[in-house]
Amino acid sequence: MQLMTRIYIALWVAALLVLAACAPQTPPVPEGTASPSSTRTGEFVPYYTPTPSTTPEPPSLTPTPLPSPTATPRQHTISLGEDLFGIALRYQVTLDELLQLNPDVEPHLLKVGQVLLVPAPSQLGSVTPQPTPMQLPLDPPDCQVTAEGGVWCFVVVRNPQEAPVESVSVSFRLAGEDGQVHTQVGYAALNLLPAGGSLPALAYFPPPVPAPEQASAEVLAAVPAAAAQERYLPVTVEGGLDELTEDGMALVRGEVILSETASTASQVWVAAAGYDEQGRLVAVRRREQSGLALAAGERLPFEMALYNPAGEISRVELWAEARP
């Protein structure tokens, strides 16, 4: 029995060997030839590259503006003979700007040595008067060198026309010995220049300025005074040089008289010009009073001082204007 089992197993193994020998053989694939399994047949399917989505731009950032630095006001120490009008002209600012920085200052009670705040240049707007074809004659300018090396220049502007003008500005030029030319814009002491009248104008050249070899001036701008009778009131001014002090100050006293036919005045300006013995214009001052209720026919007294650092003042000329 065991023998038969062994014979049966041996025959089964032999049969398997015979079948294996009869199976087809796959030839070897030469080196460098693609394997049949890597070859793809059938319909070609194109490959679409997906369109990349647009990358959103980062949101624009608005920079936060930095606060502008506050300009530091300048300081001015009042010296003998100065007033607010002259100080404002000297620093090319308006009286209102000067008073805004000095609310506790009494304009008509300034003291020598008193310190004022003056707006810094960056705090100011730059306004250049526009030239006008209006021609107004000028007297020859007079200039004086100050103790600190600056130069004050004065000139009288005349209006020969039959109509008043206002907002008169004058261009002053100084030619030094070195050939350099310095230019500064000055303004009339009052706003209204009546027909047939005159007004002093002045400008200040800050140091360093060389000693003026030659000075000249010309009217830069002037505006016809529209509706002048409605905006300005008729006034007259009386007074003049009253006293010369030991320190060279010329005290000027007088009164502004409002016409009997005028309406009530709320603002009054008085300008005074001082001349030396040679007839040269050497000093100009202006006094302004507002918040008034000056009735027709009333008189408004005033007092101011003129100072000529180069000598005495021998003659004074006065102007006045008023507004309702």
DSSP 92-143: T--HHHHHHH-TT--TT---TT-EEEE--GGGS---PPPP-S----BPPPEE
233-323: same fold as 142-224? yes
The b/e string for 270-299 (b: 16+ C-beta within 10 A; e otherwise) is bbbbbbbeeebbbbbbbbbbeebebeeebe
The b/e string for 133-149 (b: 16+ C-beta within 10 A; e otherwise) is eeebebeebbbbbbeee
Asked if residue 219 lies in contact with residue 198, where contact means CB atoms within 8 angstroms, the answer is: no
Q: Is 57 exposed, middle or buried (0-12, 13-18, 19+ CB in 10 A)?
A: exposed
**Residue that is written with structure tokens 């607010």 in the block:** 84
Residues 288, 246, 277, 140, CA torsion sign: negative
The CATH architecture that domain 142-224 belongs to is Sandwich (2.60)
For 188, the token pair is 């009339």
Per-residue pLDDT of the chain in tens (324 residues, 90 and over written 9): 555 556 556 565 555 554 545 554 544 544 444 444 433 433 433 433 344 444 555 555 555 555 555 568 888 888 766 777 778 877 878 777 888 888 888 776 678 888 999 988 755 444 444 444 468 999 999 998 888 888 999 999 999 999 999 989 999 999 877 778 889 999 999 999 999 999 999 999 988 887 667 899 999 989 899 889 999 999 999 999 998 888 878 999 999 999 999 999 999 999 999 999 999 999 999 999 989 999 999 999 999 999 888 888 999 999 999 999
Determine how many CB atoms are found less than 10 A away from the CB of residue 116: 20
CA 127, 130, 198: angle at the middle one, nearest 5? 100
The CATH architecture that domain 74-121 belongs to is Roll (3.10)
Determine how many CB atoms are found less than 10 A away from the CB of residue 99: 14
Domain ranges of the chain: 74-121, 142-224, 233-323
Give bridge partners of residue 114 from the DSSP assignment. Answer: none
In CATH, what number does 233-323 get? 2.60.40.10
- Rounded Cα–Cα distance for residues 277 and 300 (Å): 30
